Amino acid sequence: MNGSMASACATSSRLVPAPSACPPSKKTAAARFWRRRTVSCRATGGGGSGRGDNDGLLWLPRRDVMLSGLSGVAAGLAWYPGLASGADSSSSPCTTADKVNEKILQCTDTSNQKPCPLVSPTAPVDFTPEGKVTRVRQPVHLLSREYQDKYKEAVGKMKALPESNPLSFKAQAAIHQAYCDSYYKYHKSSGSAVAKDDPAFDVHFSWIFAPWHRMYIYFYERALGQLIGDDTFALPFWSWDSPAGMVVPALFKGSFVNPLYDPNRNTKNLDALVDLDYLSHMKADPIDFKGPKDEKYKELVNKNLCTIYNQQVRKGPESFLGEKYCTAIEGNSGGSLERMAHTAMHVWVGKPETTPCDAAAGGVLSHKDGKFNCRNDMGFLGSAGNDPLFYSHHSNVDRMWHLWSTRLGGGQGITDTDWLDASFVFYDDVKSPRKVRIKFRDVLDTRNLGYTYDAEADRDLPWLRPKITTLVPHGKDSGAPARSSAAAPVFPLALTKGQVVEVPAVAVPAREAGKEQLLVIDGIEFDPQANNKFDVAINLPADKALQVGPQYKEYAGSFAVVPGSGGGETVKGKVSLCITDVLYDLDAEDDSTVDVVIVPRTDAKVTLNVRPTIKNRK
């Protein structure tokens, strides 16, 4: 079957010697000292550029000895060679991914032409890689005044284009709406009309997410440069992963005079320090602090860095990028790149929920259900592209993928040909728009697209060294609390905010070399129009569970989505969390069972239909 994934690792500019062998399975004092200072992050590609041909395992300093400060050199990297991996057909009832291309995906409601792509009689041309890197994306908060003015000028001119131009701002925003608000159908039968029961297609919630958004903002970036006659113009990124960038950039504020301004934002959050774990406590006010030495400030900055660490460092290809797109199952799974900071910042910026929600309240209509959504713009998938901040936000999401592929050694990541050959069509050239067919394999290296990210800005990544601690002691000799004696819950199980669910004694299969251990929660039924989030912890007493978050070692991950359309219907999803290093952190790597704790964070109705399981996956 397609779907092989190779495991490899990268070097960095600062290498430390690797031990002569992997740490032994039995914990001698020396083995415990070493192993609890390393973390495995399965990856593909090898080499600092992501292009090497070494296979191995990426090792980073363990979380329990990360520096508590926010400055200093980045963590050194070392790697073990020789741990190869392939696809695991047992990870999903869908043994092969569905093919995705412009012939299979059909946009409905074409009579109105919007937001479906404008109809053109010409056939698309195949993408040609750019010959050299001409554009360097920089963090928004470090832009010169001249560059800020260029950005405003470019977006202003894009907004001034007639809507009939497929590279106008309205048309660009409509692309995201069409692919995220059920305009597209997955239609396999060539020569026949789109059927009502053809499944809706969305670029979220699977391995489609990262490469599609890279394509999307690539052509957006090119159009901006063309409009101001500057082929070196690069789309700046909102660096919410760095303390200096953890606020909505001032460049996007002001009034309608500023083309980067959008009135549909949460005014309460605009000048506040961002919370990358925002969905866990949305109703709380932003923190009030006196300055960078304030303990509240330090705590939130560290928590944000812990969020990015958990998102980036602990992930193999499918855990990071998402699992295969498959229409045979209800409930695909997005990766940590989509679920974590990306989702939080969408909701952080978008307007808070309004009741009742209607046109008078400033809501936007959903195509799928004809109902209003008032979380616009950024807080609703169907309207997110209307906010210019969306594109700089996704420039940083793209940067996170770039760093995972290069600095963290992820390389290509997925080698399944159904993923590599997935293709979409976008418009290029503002003056004479033409359709371009581009494949995922074309966008794996940003150099093929003529851009890269500011190396100086990325020289020091503070999220490689957050302070992550434990809520309770762990290990047989540490005075750890007794394991849960709670009765096993009965599934299906409806979650309620504030009510912790303990699932005791979940079986842990013996770990196999070269495989990551995944905690899988399948059959998650939820309302796609609502803010949905629950956290997952390991071996944590119920009376401590509400405190858990990415700054604690017991934290295994989260399920979270950006609200979309739904029409009152529920959909099913899935989350797969890599817990290999979590088990090591908690001295539970040799345990045959662990307690899984689920912590509902939002008021939305979420039902778990299946008991969590743990499996090994290559």
Q: What is the DSSP letter of 384?
A: G
Predicted pLDDT at 190: 64
Beta-strand pair 125-126/434-439 = parallel
Name the segment(s) of the chain with CATH classification 1.10.1280.10. 105-464
| Mean pLDDT per 10-residue section of the chain, whose length is 618 residues | 33 27 35 35 35 32 37 27 30 71 81 66 92 96 98 98 94 92 80 77 93 98 98 98 97 95 95 96 84 92 97 87 82 87 96 86 77 89 95 98 95 92 96 96 98 96 96 86 89 96 96 90 89 96 96 96 74 90 94 97 94 92
In DSSP terms, 573 is beta-bridged to: 524
The rounded distance, in Å, linking the Cα atoms of 168 and 220 is: 9
Question: CA geometry: angle at 93 spanning 89 and 96, to 5°?
Answer: 60
The residues near 253 (Cβ < 8 Å, ≥ 6 apart) are 261, 270
The rounded distance, in Å, linking the Cα atoms of 433 and 614 is: 50
Q: What is the DSSP letter of 352?
A: P
CB of 600 closer than 8 Å to CB of 496: yes
Tokens of 332: 């695909």
Q: What is the DSSP string of 250-291?
A: GGG-S-TTSTT--S-S-TTTTTSPP-TTGGGSTTSPPP--SS
The rounded distance, in Å, linking the Cα atoms of 215 and 424 is: 9
The rounded distance, in Å, linking the Cα atoms of 431 and 229 is: 11
Tokens of 409: 């050694």
CB of 486 closer than 8 Å to CB of 502: yes
Question: Which among 12, 19, 10 is positioned nearest to 38, based on CA atoms?
Answer: 19
**Residue recorded with tokens 């993923």:** 419
Q: What is the DSSP letter of 523?
A: E
Q: Where are the beta strands (DSSP E) in 141-227?
A: 184-186
The residues near 267 (Cβ < 8 Å, ≥ 6 apart) are none
Name the segment(s) of the chain with CATH classification 2.60.310. 493-617
Domain 105-464 in CATH 3.30.465.10 = no
The rounded distance, in Å, linking the Cα atoms of 602 and 491 is: 20
Question: Which among 207, 578, 129, 206 is positioned nearest to 414, based on CA atoms?
Answer: 207
Domain 493-617 in CATH 3.30.390 = no
Q: What is the DSSP string of 78-140?
A: EEEE-------GGG-S--SPPP--TTTEEES-GGG-SSSPPP-SSPPEEP---SS--EEE-BG
Predicted pLDDT at 118: 66
Q: Is 228 exposed, middle or buried (0-12, 13-18, 19+ CB in 10 A)?
A: middle
**Residue recorded with tokens 């778990």:** 608
